Amino acid sequence: MDGITPQLVALQLFTGLALGAVYVLLAVGLSLIFGMLTVVNFAHGAFFMVGAYAGYALYQVVPNFWLCLVLVPLVVAAFGMAVERTLIRPLYGRGIDYPLLLTFGLAYVMVEAVRIAFGKQGLPVDTPELLQGSADILVGEFPLYRLFVIGVTVLVLAGLWLFIEKTSFGLIVRAGARDPQIVRILGIDVARVWLIVFGLGTGVAGLAGFLAAPMQGISPEMGGSVLTVAFVVTVVGGMGSLVGAIVAGVLVGVVESLAVLFVPEAAKVSMFVIMALVLLVRPQGLFGRAGLMN
C-alpha cells in the first residue's frame, strides 16, 4: 500500500497500544481467577456484559459517570462473589471441567436474563461530557476517552500488583495458589480468599464492560467476542500470570493494529496466529507456570 508514512505507523502503533490496554483489562480478571482458583471462567464475557448493563441501569438512578465508575465494579464483584459462594464452591476439588461447564451454562443464563430485562436490540451509551473530543498526541489526534481508558487500566493494574505482591493478604492469596492444603493447615480460611479473588476478577471484568460501553454501545451479546480475546491473551501470556496478561494484551493489540496497515486481510486472524506460535514454542504461555492444568 502507498502512503504509509512514519507518522501513520506511529499513530497506528499508539492505537495498538490503546487497543492492547483494553485487551489487558479484559484478560486480567480471567487470568487471575484461573491462576488462583484453577477455575476456567467461561462466564467472563457475560460478567463484562453485566458490567456494561449495570453501568447503564445505575446511570439512570445516579447520573454521574464518576460515581458509576466506582460503583459498577463493586456491584459486579458482589454478584460474582454470590455466584462463587452458591454455584462454584460446591465444585472445588472435582476436576477442572466441572466449573468450566457450569460457567459455560451460566453465561447463557446471564445473556438471556439481560435480553429479557433490557431487550435484545442493544442500547447506545454517551461518552461523558468531560471526555469527549480528541487530544493532540504529537503524531496525530486521539480520542480523549481512549486515553482515559489507558489511564484507568494502568491504575487498576498497579493496584492489583500492589495488592497481590505487597500486602499480607496478597501473600496469602499467592500461597493459596501454590498449595491450598498447607495454607489451610496454617489456620487460614482459604474459602474466603478464593471468594475475594473471584470477586476481584469479575469486578475487573465488570469495570472493563463499563468502560467499553461508551466506545461501542451495549448489547446482550457484547461479551461473546470479548471472551475470545480474553482467552487468547490469557493463553499467550500464560494462565494465571498478571505480567503475562499485560505483555500479551499489548502484543496482541499492537500486532492487530499494525496488521491493518500492512496485511489488512489478516488483521483479525493475527491474534490466533500469535496464539498458535506461542503454543507451539511455549505451551504454558510466555509467563505461565507449567503444569497448572494438571
Partner 1 sequence: MNRTTTLASAACIALAAWCAPAGAQTGPIRIGLPVPLTGPYGAEAQDQVRNAELAIREFNDAGGLAGRKAELLVRDDKLNPAEAATRALELIEKDHVDFIVGSLSAATQLAVNNVTRQRKVPYISISQSDAINEAADFSRYTFHESLNPHMTTQAVGRYAFRKGMRIAFLTADYAYGQEMTRGFTRVAKEVGATVVGEIRHPLGATDYSPYLPRLMALRPDVVVFNNFGRDNQISIKQAGEFGLKGRTKFVTPVLTYTSRVAAGARVYDGVVGGSSYYWAIESTTPSARALNDRYRRAYNGAVPSDYGSMAYSAVRSLLQAVKAAGTSDTEKVVDALAALRYDTYKGPQSYRACDHQSMQSVLVIQSKAAPQGSPDIFSVLQVAPASADALRSCAELGFK
Residues contributing to the site for partner 1 (CB under 8 A): 1, 3-5, 8, 11-12, 15-16, 18-19, 22, 115, 120-124, 126-127, 132-134, 140-143, 145-146, 212, 215-217, 219, 221-222, 225, 256-257, 259-261, 264-265, 267-268
Interatomic CA distance for residues 187 and 201, integer angstroms: 25
Interatomic CA distance for residues 167 and 173, integer angstroms: 10
Residue that has been written with the C-alpha cell 470479548 in this structure: 226
Beta-ladder partners of 134: 143
Nearer to partner 1, 8 or 101 (CB): 8
Considering the complex, what minimum distance in angstroms separates the CB of residue 260 from partner 1?
Answer: 4
Considering the complex, what minimum distance in angstroms separates the CB of residue 33 from partner 1?
Answer: 23
**CB proximity list for 237: less than 8 A, separation 6 or greater:** 27, 31, 243, 244, 245, 246, 247, 248, 249, 285, 286, 287, 288
Nearer to partner 1, 218 or 278 (CB): 218
Interatomic CA distance for residues 79 and 216, integer angstroms: 24
Interatomic CA distance for residues 158 and 54, integer angstroms: 25
Pick the closest to residue 277 from 246, 260, 244, 252 (CA basis).
Answer: 252
Nearer to partner 1, 141 or 189 (CB): 141
Helix, coil or strand: residue 134: strand
Sign of the CA dihedral with 282 first, then 283, 286, and 291 last: negative
Count how many Cα atoms sit within 13 Å of the Cα of residue 7 in the half-sphere of its side chain: 6
| DSSP character string of 20-60 | HHHHHHHHHHHHHHHHHH----TTHHHHHHHHHHHHHHHHH
Nearer to partner 1, 167 or 225 (CB): 225
Considering the complex, what minimum distance in angstroms separates the CB of residue 129 from partner 1?
Answer: 11
Considering the complex, what minimum distance in angstroms separates the CB of residue 118 from partner 1?
Answer: 12
Nearer to partner 1, 198 or 231 (CB): 231
Given a contact cutoff of 8 angstroms between Cβ atoms, the answer to whether 275 and 70 are in contact is no
Count how many Cα atoms sit within 13 Å of the Cα of residue 280 in the half-sphere of its side chain: 6
Considering the complex, what minimum distance in angstroms separates the CB of residue 11 from partner 1?
Answer: 4
Nearer to partner 1, 241 or 270 (CB): 270
Nearer to partner 1, 111 or 197 (CB): 111
Considering the complex, what minimum distance in angstroms separates the CB of residue 207 from partner 1?
Answer: 17
Considering the complex, what minimum distance in angstroms separates the CB of residue 1 from partner 1?
Answer: 8
Nearer to partner 1, 170 or 217 (CB): 217
Considering the complex, what minimum distance in angstroms separates the CB of residue 274 from partner 1?
Answer: 15
